[in-house]
Structure formats: C-alpha cells, structure tokens
Chain A
Amino acid sequence: MLMDRYSLLQKIGIYIGIFIFLLFVLLPFIEMFRVSLRPLDHLMTADFTWWSNDFSFQAYRDMWVTVPLLGRYILNSIFIATAVTIMTMVVVVPAAYSYARLDFPFKSLSLGLFLAVNMFTGAVLLIPLYRVMRTLGLLNSYWAMIIPGVAFLIPTGIWLLRSYLEKIPKELEEAAYVDGASRMYTLRRVVLPLAVPGLIVVATSVFIGAYAQQFLFAITFNNQRELQPLPAGLFEFIGYQDVTWNQMMAAALTGVLPVMLFFLLLQKYLVAGLTAGAVKE
C-alpha cells in the first residue's frame, strides 16, 4: 500500500533506531561470548582487546568438569519452565474463556485484582511464600519452584488470552449452541482451534517468564543441588579462590541456546499471533 512506503531518509532513520535498540539488547550477549572465549588469566590481566590469538573454546569443555552437575541444571531449568507453562495454561485457558464470554458476580473486580497481584514482584512476597511452602512441606522440591511460578504467571496469562478470545466472533459460538453443542464442546472444537496463535503467544510469554523468575525461587526455597535450575547452578563457578568467569559465561550461553532455538522455530506463529487481530471468516 502507498501509505506503507517510506522515503530513503525515513528508512535510514528507522534502521539506525533498530540498530541502537539491538545494540543495547545484544551487547551483553556479545560480551558474554567474548568472555567465554578468553583464557582466565588473560581476563584478569590483559587490557581490553576485541580479539586475540589466545581465544579458544576451551571453557566450553572445562565447564562440565568444574561443575559436574551442569547438564542436570540445564535440564532442570527446562523442566521447571515447561512444567510451569503447562500448569499455567491448564488454568489460564478456562479462566480466560470465562472472563471473555461468561457473566458472573465480581467479574471486573477479580480481573482487577489479578492485575494488582502482578504489581508485586515475587521478591516482596518471598518471606510469606517461604512460610507457606514450609507449612505445606514443599521446601527443597521441584514443587517449591513450580508452584510460585505458576501463581505469579496466571494473571498475565489470563489478561493476554482473554483479549485474544474476545476477538473470536460470538456468532460462531451461538451457531454451535443452536446446533446443540455444549460449552465445552464448542470450546474444544471451535474456540481453541481458532485461538491457536493466541495460545502460542501466551504459552511463550509464560515460558519466558518462568525461565526468568526461577532464579529467585530456586535460591530461597531450594537447597538441594540436584534440583537447582541453571541460574542458581551458575553460582558453583564462584570458587573459594577464584571465579571462573569464562566458564560461567560459556555455561550461561549453553543453557540459553536450546530455548533460543526452540523460539526461533516458533517465531512464525509468534509474529502471526501478535499481529492477528480479527479472525477471518
């Protein structure tokens, strides 16, 4: 379309903007990668150089020796985030549908409360949460990291998915109702298939949220080494004598890699889901 056309100057401006933004976001990763390649003594002594002949992938081999449970930590991270995502979605889908379609007492009040809960970060509630976990006897288990994760991610999930479900034409459900379909049948056969892009967006944001927040819950509610997720496990690179920074950076990058690949594959749906407003007939 004509209105989508930009002049050369506008294009240059846009690209400069994108470049600055990406630089901000990606510079830490680039620095992580550079650090992971440098020998440790080099790190402590040498002046800043962009590239040197001493660079190698040695740290990527050594890290498994320094921290023998590293593989376990990475799998724990993925496991916890996946479990949080599945449990959150199981709760969020029916809840979001109810908020999108049904009428019940205190509907907007409870929806507002969900938003209010989101304003507290997990950190504020750590002490009370710790007591809850202790009372329930869940400390030092996977549950200690999964349950708070689910609890904190449900509100955002409901808000995101509700607005998506509201865009599905109501007449489709009315037609199904006239044809004798129950609410659950309609949800399963009509609403959810149409909401797939929205479901992927919500699941992705929940997964990323779960991945990011697990550090806090892991270091407070769990001290069993075998159950720790990667962010907590990275502490083991801090020794009594020295910190093997290069290996720590290598481990961090390795841990993020599988997740990043997964999302690259999903990207197609993500973009479609974030931009798809109306459901076409």
Chain B
Amino acid sequence: MATLDLSHITKSFGTAQVLRDIDLAIKDKEFVVFVGPSGCGKSTLLRIVAGLEEATSGKIFIDGRDVSREPPVQRGIAMVFQSYALYPHLTVYENIAFPLRVQRLAEAEVRQKVTKAADILQLTDKLDLKPGQLSGGQRQRVAIGRSIVRNPKVFLFDEPLSNLDAALRGDMRVELSQLHGSLNATMIYVTHDQVEAMTMADRIVVLNAGKVEQFGTPMELYHHPATKFVAGFIGQPNMNLIPSTVKGTGSDGLTVELSGGHVMTIPVETKGVSAGAKVEVGIRPENVELGRGMDVKINVLERLGGVSITYGTLAGTRFCASLPGDAAIREGETIGLTMNPRDAHVFDAAGKVLRRTMAPALVA
C-alpha cells in the first residue's frame, strides 16, 4: 500500500515561482507520468517528492502520513536519476548493495537481496564489472537494481531513458512497464517525451509553467484535452489549431467557419460562446482524409510507408495531415481534405476546451 498525495505544493527559487499550487492524489500501485516541456517544473516536483528539494509551501503525504519534513529514506522512496548516478569506483554488486550497506545489513542478507535484484534485471553475470564496462541499458538496469533492493513504497524516475538511443529506449519502456507489473509498487516517472507518457502511464500529469494543466488517463488526455496546451502536447504529430469564427450555436453543437472559409458544425457544449466569437478548432492530423472541404497546400511530404505525413498550410495556418501511405499526392500541390466534425475540438479565446458531446467512449 502506498498512496501519494500532494497538497498545495508551491516552490520558488528567489523571485522565480517554479511550481504553483500543485494538488495531486496518486493511487496505490499507480504508474503516473509527469510530462511537460523543459522548464515546466516537473523535475523540481519530483525532487520535492523525493526530499532532495524542500517545497516553499504545501505538504506531501505518503500513505496518509505527512512526510514533508522527512529525509528521503524515511519517506520510503527510491529514485533513479537521469545520469544513472552509479558509483564508478564500485562494482555492479556494490552499487546495487549500497543502500543495504548504509543500513548495515548482514552480509548474507545483502547477498540474497542483491542476487534477487540482479536476477530480475538480468545482471547476474555482470555483478563483478565496474559501471564503466557496461552499456547504457545495463547501467540503467543497475540504477534500477539499486532502487529496488530496499523495497521502497514509491519509485521515482527522473527522465531515466533520455540518455539511451531510440531502439533501446523502446525496449526499456517495455521492461519498465513489466517491472511495474511485477513489483506492484507506486511509480512516478518524469519525462518530456509524450510517447513515453502515453505508452507507460496509468495516468498522466501534464505540467506547464509550474501548473497542472490536466491529470488523467492517456486516452482521456487524447480525446478530451482540457486546454489548448494539452491538445498540442499529446498526440503525434501535433494537433492542428485553426483560427475560426463562431457562426451560430444550436442543439447539435457549434457552427464555425474555419479560416479559409470551410464551415462545419461541431458537436460540443456551447455554453458561454455566441455568434461572432473567435475560437480555435483543433484537428488531429490522423482524423482527416482526402476529400472536399479544406484546401491545404503541401510544402513537405514524408512517406513513412504505412502513412504519408504532409506539412502544409491552410489559409496561412500551419496544417499537418496524416494520409494513407500511397495517397496520390505530391509536394507543392494543393489538395482537398475533409473530416468528421465529431473528431474536432474547439478551444475558446482563453485556451479552454468546449467539451465534446459525441466523443468516442474511453477505453481503459
């Protein structure tokens, strides 16, 4: 059992406010990812949870107990650092055993725990090597090994995969997910990579400029982004945002005219908007298809095989579309695109979403 609750956490460095009133309730055994652009405060938040940094105000509860003033080891957390932070002068065995040595456990117990961790992480034949003799992925595993020997309640990962090459990153993603399953522990994972967030998380915290933009499951964030920021951050390629004007409201939704003249009625809640208001319509590249409606000029065409990604403009606004792999289109030409209005998102002038009324049901 390990729940983690953050209550009104703020953090300032001098006059710069890095975190503003962070309120989160993380459930037992949950895999939560903090994601956001660099400088959004996600690493600082993790370091506050770890006890490496002190919050300017606010409280942290683990299993309902206030740990705000306690050192990391008493909080029952373990942390894996971005640079792995392995001790270069110690063997893999001693690196993994380090937290146990600090506790002055008997040699037999140390051996048993290190062996078990090495077994889980496939490091058994590497125990006598120094970190310098290992590959990046192996070092990463040693760092994880060092965090699991102590049986912490909460695991903290600070961008653990960012130093690995793309292929290895994919493998480690799967391994970490499996590890989460087998350890049955609460895990918090910081990354700037939305793919890592989408693939690994039970729930995602999107941070922007020190605030929580949205906290929800990956598919919730994908189908119901609360703000323009979340919409732009989640999904690959990024969502297109088209400046539009409201033509009218009705029971079937909001009728808008996109820049370029295309008119459609989008099924969203219309409370608070009226004809003439400026809004932005969000269209995901994967939701459009060749047809009649929006005229898009293609500047760059990337054929990836299964899909063709086009980068172009719709009446002066950048517009990206994901089309079938062998669509008969060429760079430089203007094509017609169409879409189902149910798939569109609408954001008001403040960047807040108008909730979709006919979005697909969320899968777990």
* Residues of chain A having any CB pair with chain B under 8 Å: 169, 171-172, 174-181, 185, 189-190, 193-194, 279-281
Rounded to whole Å, the gap between the CB of B344 and the closest CB of chain A is 45
Rounded to whole Å, the gap between the CB of A171 and the closest CB of chain B is 4
Q: Are B52 and A178 in contact (CB under 8 A)?
A: yes
Contacts A177-B52, A178-B73, A179-B99 given: A190-B87 contact, CB under 8 Å?
A: yes
Q: Of B20-28, B78-86, B194-202, B349-357, which stretch is located at the interface?
A: B78-86
Contacts A172-B87, A178-B77 given: A281-B72 contact, CB under 8 Å?
A: no
Having A169-B83, A178-B79, one finds 13 other A-B pairs with CB under 8 Å, namely A171-B81, A174-B85, A176-B102, A177-B52, A178-B73, A178-B77, A179-B99, A181-B98, A189-B101, A193-B89, A194-B87, A281-B83, A281-B131
Q: Are B146 and A174 in contact (CB under 8 A)?
A: no
Q: Are B146 and A171 in contact (CB under 8 A)?
A: no
* B88 in the interface (beta carbon within 8 A): yes
Q: Are B99 and A194 in contact (CB under 8 A)?
A: no
Instruction: Output the nearest chain A residue to B131 by Cβ-Cβ distance.
Output: A281
30 pairs of residues in contact across A and B, judged by CB atoms under 8 Å: A171-B82, A172-B85, A175-B79, A175-B81, A176-B98, A177-B71, A177-B72, A178-B51, A178-B52, A178-B77, A178-B79, A179-B72, A179-B73, A179-B78, A179-B99, A180-B72, A180-B73, A180-B102, A181-B98, A185-B102, A190-B87, A193-B89, A194-B87, A194-B89, A279-B88, A280-B88, A281-B86, A281-B88, A281-B132, A281-B139
Contacts of A176 in B (CB 8 A): 98, 102
Q: Are B84 and A281 in contact (CB under 8 A)?
A: yes
Greatest chain B CB density within 10 A among A179, A180, A185 is at: A179
* B103 in the interface (beta carbon within 8 A): yes
* B254 in the interface (beta carbon within 8 A): no
B side interface size, CB within 8 A: 28
* B150 in the interface (beta carbon within 8 A): yes
* B19 in the interface (beta carbon within 8 A): no
* B50 in the interface (beta carbon within 8 A): yes
Rounded to whole Å, the gap between the CB of A251 and the closest CB of chain B is 43
Q: Are B85 and A171 in contact (CB under 8 A)?
A: yes
Q: Are A179 and B87 in contact (CB under 8 A)?
A: no
Q: Are B102 and A174 in contact (CB under 8 A)?
A: no
Instruction: Output the nearest chain A residue to B52 by Cβ-Cβ distance.
Output: A174
Rounded to whole Å, the gap between the CB of A207 and the closest CB of chain B is 25
Contacts of A185 in B (CB 8 A): 102
The 8 Å CB contact of B146, one of A179, A190, A281, is: A179
Contacts of B132 in A (CB 8 A): 280-281
The 8 Å CB contact of B99, one of A171, A172, A180, is: A180
Contacts A179-B99, A281-B132 given: A174-B81 contact, CB under 8 Å?
A: yes
Rounded to whole Å, the gap between the CB of A164 and the closest CB of chain B is 15
Instruction: Output the nearest chain B residue to A168 by Cβ-Cβ distance.
Output: B88
In whole angstroms, how far apart are the Cα atoms of A279 and B82 in the complex? 16
Contacts of B146 in A (CB 8 A): 175, 179
Instruction: Output the nearest chain B residue to A172 by Cβ-Cβ distance.
Output: B85
Q: Are B85 and A175 in contact (CB under 8 A)?
A: yes
In whole angstroms, how far apart are the Cα atoms of A189 and B95 in the complex? 11
Q: Are B88 and A171 in contact (CB under 8 A)?
A: no
Instruction: Output the nearest chain A residue to B158 by Cβ-Cβ distance.
Output: A171
Contacts of A172 in B (CB 8 A): 85, 87
Contacts of A280 in B (CB 8 A): 88, 132
Instruction: Output the nearest chain A residue to B101 by Cβ-Cβ distance.
Output: A189
The 8 Å CB contact of B83, one of A171, A179, A190, is: A171
B79-131: which have CB < 8 Å to A?
Answer: 79, 81-89, 98-99, 101-103, 131
Instruction: Output the nearest chain B residue to A176 by Cβ-Cβ distance.
Output: B98
Contacts of B81 in A (CB 8 A): 171, 174-175
The 8 Å CB contact of B150, one of A169, A171, A179, A189, is: A179
Instruction: Output the nearest chain B residue to A171 by Cβ-Cβ distance.
Output: B85
In whole angstroms, how far apart are the Cα atoms of A237 and B99 in the complex? 62
In whole angstroms, how far apart are the Cα atoms of A178 and B146 in the complex? 11
